[in-house]
Amino acid sequence: MRHEPTQAPTPSPKLPDKVSGRVDRAFTQGETMGTIEQQQGHEVVEADPTATTLAAAFQATAKAHADAVAVRNPDDSFTLTWAEYAAKVESIARGLAAVGVGRGDTVGILLLNRPEFHPIDTAAFHLGATPFSLYATSSPEQIAYLYENSGCDVLFTEQAFLPRALAARDAGGPAPSTIVLVDGPAEGAITIDELEAQGDPAFDFEAAWRAVRPDDVLTLIYTSGTTGPPKGVELTHDAMIVHSRAAASVLGIRAGDTMTSYLPTAHAADRWASHYNGHLFGTQVTSISDPRGVVQVLPVLRPTIWGSVPRIVEKMKAGLEAGIAAMPDEQRVPTQQAIEFALDRIRRIQAGEAVDEATEAKYAQLDAAIFSKLRAKFGLDRCRWIVLGAAPLPRDVQEFLVGIGLPLVDLYGMSEATCMVSVTAPEDGRFGTVGKPLPGLQTKVADDGELLIKGPTVTKGYRNAPDKTAEAFTEDGWFHTGDVVAFDEDGYMRLVDRKKELIINAAGKNMSPANIESTLKGGSPLIGQVAVIGDGRRYNVALIVIDPDAAVAFANANGIEPTVAAVAADDRAKAAIAAGVEAANAKLSRVEQIKRFEILADEWQPGGDELTPTMKLKRKPIDAKYAGVIEGLYAE
């Protein structure tokens, strides 16, 4: 349905932009031949700080932490200690060598987030091969493109994806000679047990991994493809090691730290955080196959470090607020008052105001009585840092979560920089910024505001795309990020938007659609996705998609069919969304405000027509698909 806010709200003053299940075993000082120490602050200890390849780092870590659990799933039906992990890596590597995989070859992995991924990927790069992941949402046509572009020699997958993998191979063109299943036999593939059985006991595994070089391509990260076919970002062993050590120096990491893997392994963030960090630092990862279930299992897993995309923590906040609203008055009122106190405190801190001892003493009391329990409800009460990226985090969500004591910071990253470009420790975070550039990364801002970067963590180029590689770099070697940024006087970076996505309205005013969309999503829990349109137009309009989880909750509370379509047609839901848009408009400048919007009865799924697998908007396809709706919003 099409809607217009009842009035154009006046922008409010903006705040300054400063800013259980199993018990996981931790290492203690002097343990494991004295190589592991209990660490404090941002001290980082590696089993082999001189390692120049991930293969060498993994071998040292596996020996140092042999008896500790390295990889598991939530119910511990699959676990690997570091010693078992190393043995599995060697066995798979021997099998791969037997089917012809060697230095410079490419191994594809099409799996959900499951523990088997880790030894498979690790085994491949021990041979000097290049493993890479395919998004689970990939169509046969997309898989066929990746086969050809990557030069995929062997593909590991599971039975649910085998029909697509075979259809892509049958489409013609280069394709893997061997398809390996991790979950049992099926026609057209061999099992992983059969692969391992082919291994030659005489194969010199140690010589193979020691022959791996720092400039060998460690993995390919395929971009989301918002403007065309995805590009295969080549990342070397050296780039990942330098990046991981730099990130650890900022955030801190400890042997035995626990984390979850639920974001796609095809994404640089999951590869770095849950996979390679373990190789270097001895961390433990729990694989969660269904990302929709991560919120439910976190209270059992209680990770010590965690990463997410904003939409997940937005839902967590909305769920907690709904729970608080349902409390009896004697619990609800003091909890809400405590949260208001926490919000006032964090806003004062971010504004650079001094906070007196009485305020801090009261906060400590409330933290012990209320906030610690709220963090425990999330399952994030043990976290030392929580990093968010991929999209802007609404200010109100960040204030709420940091206000109740979660060590949360925004980062800015991209595959071409290995993962992170900028981040800061939670205690140094400034709202509205994405931290400072990672140590060792050079940055400069072009005349048009675009960020340029250079350093050892930057990709050398795209797989089999010399023209795209040439376009991405300046003549003197600076990489074009495509993002417009601004730095404050202390070196903190603020992300404005994608250079190609900035809205320039009919009056010539530049605006960031991502920031406007983030503000709108913070206006109502019913708002799941938003696409703002306004380039070359007199005013901005928006397409609004209802959050499916919030739709079910709303429907159950209001006695209607629990579907997105039914909620989109309900007058009460329309009113709630309209109120959310008005609340968001109050936080935007007049030129940024949404004048009209359409509530769609559609659901936008990751990997679908409107969203990439990492939930970035596909703006051109959205513009084309909803052209009639958009033109209707601009009709007189």
CATH number of the domain to which 577 belongs:
3.30.300.30
What is the CB neighbour count within 10 angstroms for residue 349? 17
Query: How many angstroms separate the Cα of 210 from the Cα of each of 66, 185, 434, 438, 610?
Result: 20, 33, 38, 29, 45
Q: What is the mean pLDDT of residues 478-486?
A: 90
**C-beta separation of 441 from 421 below 8 A:** yes
C-beta of residue 261 within 8 angstroms of C-beta of residue 274: yes
Reported pTM: 0.79
Based on the domain organization, do 284 and 312 belong to the same domain?
Answer: no
- Confidence label for 499 from pLDDT (cuts 50, 70 and 90): low
At a CB cut-off of 8 Å and minimum separation 6, what does 255 contact? 26, 27, 36, 39, 45, 64, 65, 68, 281, 282, 283
Lowest mean pLDDT among 41-45, 466-470, 492-496: 41-45
Q: What is the pLDDT of residues 563-595, one digit of tens each?
A: 888 998 999 999 999 999 998 888 887 888 899
Query: What number of CA atoms fall less than 13 Å from residue 495's CA on the CB side?
Result: 29
Q: 446 with 452: CB under 8 angstroms?
A: yes
SS3 73: coil
Classify residue 188: in a domain, yes or no. Answer: yes
262: domain CATH number? 3.40.50.12780
Residue 125 scores a pLDDT above 90: yes
Residues 18-44 pLDDT 10s: 222 222 322 222 222 222 233 334 567
> What's the CATH number where 411 sits?
2.30.38.10
CA 614, CA 267: separation in Å to the nearest integer? Answer: 8
Tell whether 487 and 511 lie within a shared domain. Answer: no
Q: What is the rounded distance in angstroms from the CA atom of residue 346 to the CA atom of residue 395?
A: 12
Tell me whether residue 508 is in a domain: yes
Confidence at 224, pLDDT banded by 50, 70, 90: low
Q: Are residues 257 and 359 in the same domain?
A: no
Do both 364 and 329 map to the same domain?
yes
CA distance 456 to 226: 26
The pLDDT confidence band at residue 191, using thresholds 50, 70 and 90, is very high
Contacts of 618 (CB under 8 A, 6+ apart): 226, 609, 610, 611, 612
Q: Are residues 66 and 180 in the same domain?
A: yes
Model pLDDT for residues 421-463, shown as the tens digit of each residue: 999 999 898 888 899 999 999 999 998 889 999 999 999 999 9
Domain residue limits at 626: 501-633
d(CA 291, CA 358): 42
Q: Are residues 396 and 479 in the same domain?
A: yes
In total, how many domains does the chain have? 3
Contact 5, 523 (CB under 8 A): no
pLDDT tens digits along 396-419 = 888 999 999 999 988 988 899 999
Q: What angle do CA 540, 308, 155 make, to 5 degrees?
A: 105
| Shared-domain flag, residues 82 and 204 | yes
pLDDT score of 225: 56
pLDDT at 121 over 80: yes
* Assigned token pair, 525: 């829990």
Question: What does the alpha-carbon distance between residue 182 and residue 567 come to, in Å, rounded to a whole number?
Answer: 41
> Cα(471)–Cα(473) distance, rounded to whole angstroms?
6
Residue 474 sits in the same domain as residue 342: yes
Q: Are residues 403 and 480 located together in one domain of the fold?
A: yes
Greater confidence, 1 or 29?
A: 1
| β partners of residue 408 | 386
Q: Establish if 240 belongs to a structural domain.
A: no
Q: How many CA atoms lie within 13 A of 83 on its CB side?
A: 6
Average pLDDT, the chain: 86
